[in-house]
Structure 1
Amino acid sequence: MALNDNTEYSMATSSLSLLDPSTGILPITPPAEIAYRFHSPDWSEWNAYATRWSTYAAPSFDYVFLPETERDLSIGRHSLQGMQLEYLSANYVPLLAQGGGHGYSPTLGTKRDVVQVNLDRFDDIEIHSDGTVGVGGSVRFEDLVTSLYEAGRVMTVGSCPCVGSTGAMLGGGIGRLQGKYGLTSDAVLKFRVLLWNGTVVEASNSVNSDLFWGIQGAGQNFGIVTETTYRTWPQENSGTHYSADQYFTDDSLEGVLQRLNTIIANQDPGLGMTGFSLSIVYPGGIESGHHYADLFASTPANDSHHPINRVLINETAVPWSQLDFVASNGTIAAACKKGLRQNTYTASLRAFNLSTFVELYAAYRSFIVANPTASLSSMVFEVFGQQAVDSRASESSAFPHRGKINVLALLEMIYEDDAVAEVSDDFGQTWRDVLLRPEVSGYERPAVYQNYAHGDEPLAAVYGYETWRQEKLTALKRKFDPHEMFSGYHGIPVELSGWT
């Protein structure tokens, strides 16, 4: 029932040891009734809970706190009573609440030697008779999809099974089915939220509607979401999904991208694609999905205009609950391994600029040859339907990028050897900046998906350029997090001047 993965909330409490100027930190002294839930680095399970998915610019922890209930969380917050806020501002022990630890923004790296609030026990999933589902904050997509599939229900989820559903939703929540059902956050009916002062409130369209609006796209900034209730839809095709992984020769790049641009212009709402290689996913059987894979079949040998040479296609129809482990030849699920450096840059594109991508692909190949210890690095481009996303008004939630995320590019610099850290960062940042140029992206100003943001982008690129939107978000920050205790993940400023 709380945070997840890229849902990282920073907070502070005096119930834990206050910093001592002479020794650095005093022994931890939480309230007796929850003391046994705190663990130090000598705990036998420390690595299982404290190790991050990405170790690049990651936070570090002195203790792990494993709460079982909202009451456990609230006790820590209420322990602030009787203390002077001015004193706490200078001496509090910072906390970072975490579900799966999948968040990779370098903004988290500013949280050093903090107490990790691990919400692993907030893992309930309850499907109701009206088709809605209640989801605890640490539930990963893998478990949510399995439960929904068994109940004959469906909703938009992310493509990676180990990502936390709550964390992905708080930044908006993109996914293969968004063209049919909208963003994950678009399906939310209500939240339960723990605020900075220990109060637990409900947020919906009718109760705390301003908070409800803000959590859908900027949710890491206002409190800890302990439970979310979603609308779901009946499964189609008995829950069967078509998956096709296709592989091409290098000289097919322009031809494949040209076909992709044609599809983007009039994309089926159920069609999801990543490339190069190219993974196609469609909610249906092989017969219905093969039509889309056939668009990328090899062209005749005498076709000299952007030819396509497909060397392999692997088609299958699988239950929705197994899709994430089959699509992209299982590489997405395999990427759940913890402990690697994951330095990622991102950009949103209207379509693929053919000449730029030819240059990018050549540069990527040269980079890997020159830096073999960074050979796990990858370039991922997600192309999902936009119809249901764009059908909602831009002002309907804090998510600011409707109509601006046709293609999401991720330049994932992955390595263990820090000797390639600098050159990897330079490659990712340089090419991210190239992709963000208006003549390349197709957008006048950068639109940066919050869950993928690196942290060096202007906040307006992440949360929106409209003055009214920035004013509303800052007003919400002042109201629900006036002391900026939840600002560890792309924090919204409490002053309007912080947007510039």
Structure 2
Amino acid sequence: MESFIPDLHQKLSKPSVILSASNPGFAAACERWTDIDRKTPAVIVQPANERDVAVLVREAHAAGIPFVPATGGHSQWSTVEDGMVIDMSRYKETIVHPDGHTVAVRGGVLMKELQLALSENGQFTTVANGNTVGVIPYTIGGGISSYTPLIGYACENILSARIVVADGDVVPASESTNPDLLWAIRGAGQFFGIVVELVLRTYSPSLMGPDGVRQIGTIFFPPERAFEVCQALRKIVSAHDHASSGHCMAMMDPSKGRVLMVAPQYFGTGPELQATFKPLTDMGPLEHAHLPSTFDKHSDHLDWMCPKGDFKRFSQTGLVSINPENFSKLVDLHRELLETLPGTERSVFTIEWHTPTASKGARETKTSFGLRGVDIWLNILTWYTDPNIHDQVLQFDRRASEIMRSDTKEEAYVAYTNTSRDDPIEYRYKDATAVKKLKELKKRWDPNGCFTQQLL
């Protein structure tokens, strides 16, 4: 490493930045969304362009130096001990083509930056529920989105890509050039290289509703009413007479205490949202409200979840259905967590739903992701500041999955690729034929496991 770092200064472009422990900006650059398993690298390099990324991969691979890419810093895998972090925050570019309904995203563009660029051009696409999440890593790992009922997963909207592979080559991938690699990037790209560019489909906001906005609501209940609330929600979501997504959350509200919050995101008009979710508002909630939300402000209400630091874990588990009995037990488990382990009050246990996506448009795209038809998800956010309770909190996370999977056979277990690398591959990629193909492609493009040992 002593000779590696000085050599980089000669090989990278001048705008790039190299940070080691002695540099003032090093500590801040080490920060991540979670401090769980956060490691201290020997060097953090902030490339300024595609060529810089290629040089870094080639040189590190040749020297046997471990490295990881980092964009928004939300991934628990974007940290490495005594190796190199390739920090994409200095290399960002967004090019919108509204007439062609495409956007090119390069480097470390974050969700809020993409939302603003698209909104200025009268377009939208699939995005995550977090302004500081990196667009490219989110998309290549699948990309579950509030907009999935309308336009599918983010990976289904990838039209082409450019990826830096293990030898430092920049490889284009499209339907006409390296189509199998493009297929792999659509759902498993993180295991094949560093994707430095994606071209994505974009859409007119009029698809959301007549005013080009989505409607968002909040309906609060006491947690003791979890069973009946979940029953009513299941009936609404299963009606298949509208397009919506949303969350039913067991959480601690600063002013209300422990509550159950149903937060629908509805594609249509305000009166239509009110009519659709009337069975819930007729149940006498603590309070309820709704308002229109524009695409540029998609995740602003969730900024409280985005600060770096503390000990946070976010996992997503696919569910076969909304089960009121299981959900009631989940809400009880959330209460037990907060009562047993003080300091976990910001933890949130959630069911996320999407009404089914039409089997046309983006949904016709061939991907390696393989989780089409998974419309219900268990989202577990655990958040605490005391590292000494880590193992105890993790047990609550596992118990939550066990509760919500109690009506599911193991062969139907689903884990989301973007939040899990420990679950069996069969949980993350449900198609055995696709897994076989991914493993064959891994042997071709990354036989030595430069980009993790996954699929080898």
TM-score (norm: length of structure 1): 0.82
Describe the SS at the equivalent of 2:312: strand
Partner of 2:430: 464
Separation in 1 of the partners of 2:440 and 2:219? Answer: 48
Partner of 2:258: none
**2:224 is aligned with what amino acid?**
D
Describe the SS at the equivalent of 2:81: coil
Which of residues 444, 447, 450 is equivalent to 2:414? 447
The question of whether the paired residues in 2 share the 8 Å contact of 1:389 and 1:402 is answered with no
Residues 219-256 of structure 1: CA deviation (Å, up to 9, x unaligned): 10111111111111111134322111110122321121
Partner of 2:390: 421
Separation in 2 of the partners of 1:320 and 1:288? Answer: 19
**2:141 is aligned with what amino acid?**
G
Describe the SS at the equivalent of 2:108: coil
Does residue 153 of structure 2 align to residue 187 of structure 1? Answer: no
**2:263 is aligned with what amino acid?**
S
Query: 1:37-436 counterparts in 2 under 5 A?
Result: 37-79=17-59, 92-104=64-76, 111-128=80-97, 129-236=99-206, 237-267=210-240, 270-276=243-249, 277-299=261-283, 309-325=284-300, 330=301, 332-388=302-358, 396-403=366-373, 405-436=374-405
Change (3 A) 1:471 1:442: closer
Change (3 A) 1:75 1:345: closer
The question of whether the paired residues in 2 share the 8 Å contact of 1:180 and 1:269 is answered with no
Change (3 A) 1:313 1:204: same
Query: 1:455-494 counterparts in 2 under 5 A?
Result: 455-466=421-432, 468-487=433-452, 491-494=453-456
**2:146 is aligned with what amino acid?**
R
Partner of 1:10: none
Change (3 A) 1:114 1:411: same
Partner of 2:254: none
Separation in 2 of the partners of 1:62 and 1:363? Answer: 41
Separation in 1 of the partners of 2:359 and 2:379? Answer: 20
Partner of 2:10: 32
Separation in 2 of the partners of 1:39 and 1:122? Answer: 16
Q: How many pairs were matched up?
A: 439
Separation in 2 of the partners of 1:379 and 1:370? Answer: 16
Separation in 2 of the partners of 1:200 and 1:121? Answer: 19
Separation in 1 of the partners of 2:18 and 2:223? Answer: 53
**1:342 is aligned with what amino acid?**
K
Change (3 A) 1:238 1:146: farther
Separation in 1 of the partners of 2:297 and 2:149? Answer: 21
Separation in 2 of the partners of 1:444 and 1:72? Answer: 43
The question of whether the paired residues in 2 share the 8 Å contact of 1:195 and 1:481 is answered with yes
The question of whether the paired residues in 2 share the 8 Å contact of 1:344 and 1:411 is answered with yes
Describe the SS at the equivalent of 1:375: coil
The question of whether the paired residues in 1 share the 8 Å contact of 2:228 and 2:324 is answered with no
Give the deviation of 1:442 after TM superposition: 7.2
Gaps spanning 5+ residues in structure 2: where?
A: 250-260
The question of whether the paired residues in 1 share the 8 Å contact of 2:236 and 2:277 is answered with no
Describe the SS at the equivalent of 1:158: coil
The question of whether the paired residues in 2 share the 8 Å contact of 1:195 and 1:223 is answered with yes
Separation in 1 of the partners of 2:362 and 2:269? Answer: 29
Describe the SS at the equivalent of 1:126: strand
The question of whether the paired residues in 1 share the 8 Å contact of 2:111 and 2:128 is answered with yes
Give the deviation of 1:101 after TM superposition: 0.8
| Segments of 4+ moved more than 6 angstroms | 389-395
